[in-house]
Amino acid sequence: MASRMILRALHGGVGARWVAGDEVYGGNPTLRADPRARRVGYVLAVACGHRVGTAAGTVRADAVVGWLPKRAWQCLSAGKDAKGHRFYDWAWITITATGGDAPEGQRWLLVRRNRRTGELAFYRCYAPGRVPLGALVRVAGRRWTVEESLQTSTGQTGLDEHQCRTWRSWHRWTTLVLLAHAFLAIVTVTARSRPAPAGLIPLTLNEIRHLYNALVVTPVANLAHADESPPPLAYH
């Protein structure tokens, strides 16, 4: 399903240069092959036990870390959150095509290390040509932004309330929910582009939704406004 959605987006003219995903998708050879066939890069998380091809043979991803010299690690930001930049130590190593993959393009294993706990995360990466380390880090960080948007859609526009059993009905529901979320996000950005009134904080997406529900969606309950409503339809 993920491959089908990606391919439909690309065929529909979406100008995407990268695909990002978690370990479920990074470990799937078919999903990795589809973007490569269209020369679209990817940064896909993989498990520590994921096997990659190197000059020394096929090894586990976590085994590669022991080969990296201290100078291989660079401190880079994966993007901002509410507390500021998310800084991690990053390193990368070139890997080879495995499992019958076509050799075209560039492949890397990207490693992220938490600067406080030392926890490691691994990403299998591909690009049609050479790119700097910072580009891969930005794509890895962008996936978190997408996940935050999905969490917001779940809480604000009912992404998880579809109760659908077929692909077509699920696809329709998800499209409408994300469209509603995009509408609220645009309205929020527009509202926050103007200075907030004295003593008030800038409007949030949650507050925009409450205002929209109160002013537009919720039917008028006050009978004093009954005369302001349009006349009923007459049937003959």
3-class DSSP assignment, residue 209:
helix
Distance (Å, whole) CA 210 – CA 204: 10
Per-residue pLDDT of the chain (236 residues; tens, 9 = 90+): 888 888 888 888 888 899 998 898 888 888 898 899 889 999 999 999 999 988 888 889 999 998 899 999 999 998 877 677 889 999 999 998 776 566 788 999 999 999 999 999 999 999 999 999 999 999 998 887 788 888 888 888 988 888 878 888 888 998 999 999 999 999 998 988 888 777 777 888 888 888 888 877 765 555 455 555 555 544 44
- The answer for residues whose C-beta is within 8 angstroms of residue 76's C-beta and 6 or more apart is 87, 88, 90, 133, 134, 137
Domain ranges for the chain, please list them.
2-131, 167-217
Number of H helices, E strands in the chain: 7, 8
Which has the closest alpha carbon to 118: 143, 81, 89? 89
For CA atoms 133, 71, 64, 46, the dihedral sign is negative
Which helix (H) or strand (E) is 86 found in, with range? strand 84-94
CATH number for 2-131 (one of 3.40.50.2300, 3.90.350.10, 3.20.20.80, 3.40.47.10): it is 3.90.350.10
